[in-house]
Chain A
Amino acid sequence: QKEVEQDPGPLSVPEGAIVSLNCTYSNSAFQYFMWYRQYSRKGPELLMYTYSSGNKEDGRFTAQVDKSSKYISLFIRDSQPSDSATYLCAMTRLNSNSGYALNFGKGTSLLVTP
């Protein structure tokens, strides 16, 4: 079983829709959870970062973590064509200088149509 599972899509929604992106994970040691957005031919750009269960909001974006279910979500409200990108979830075990790398989902491709 992969440590992080993410539906690759593609997901196509009309402009203004609420988008829900999800990841599940198997390692209960994961403590830090991130969402990255990646436009074509660019590197991943950090969107949201959280280390606790519950919700974290930033503008149109809400990150949700449910550690008991090992499930994380990213919600995008009032989606815009500029939100069209691949969204990667990522998580890791420690917040230290030991160099622990991120475990990534494979990314969900999102297309927001005008």
Chain B
Amino acid sequence: DVKVTQSSRYLVKRTGEKVFLECVQDMDHENMFWYRQDPGLGLRLIYFSYDVKMKEKGDIPEGYSVSREKKERFSLILESASTNQTSMYLCASRSSQPQHFGDGTRLSIL
């Protein structure tokens, strides 16, 4: 079974902090994705990566960056956290279809 692990289930941070969300997959997948999920808005793509050190912007990249130094690990970085970044963050990976998701990180910015 595919395993996508997000390092934290719940996280509370303060505005202005730099926040790191980590995601690890164990299936040697090339592609990895970061989404955020908000009530009424559904899942929205922030960034994705199709190879080590490669990244592409998704639909809502503003205020975020990513890092992929190793194939199995994809990090999402909030450069200066703001309250409107309070959300559920979901990581996914795939080789071909379909995508497999982690259990999410519920991030609160105070």
Contact = CB atoms under 8 A, between A and B. Distances in A.
Given A43-B104, A46-B98, A95-B97, A106 B50 contact: no
Counting from the closest, the 5 A-B pairs by CB-CB distance are: A99-B50, A106-B42, A43-B101, A43-B103, A104-B43
Interface in B55-98: 56, 58, 90, 95-98
Contacts, number: 60
A44 B101 contact: yes
Given A41-B106, A101-B33, A49 B101 contact: no
Given A32-B98, A43-B90, A88-B43, A99 B48 contact: yes
Interface residues of A, number: 26
Contacts of A49: 97-98
30 contacts: A32-B97, A34-B97, A34-B99, A41-B104, A42-B103, A42-B104, A43-B101, A43-B104, A44-B90, A44-B101, A46-B100, A49-B97, A51-B97, A88-B42, A90-B99, A95-B96, A95-B97, A97-B50, A97-B96, A99-B31, A99-B50, A101-B45, A101-B48, A101-B58, A102-B43, A102-B99, A104-B42, A106-B40, A106-B41, A107-B42
A68 interface: no
A43 B99 contact: no
Interface footprint category on B: 20 to 34
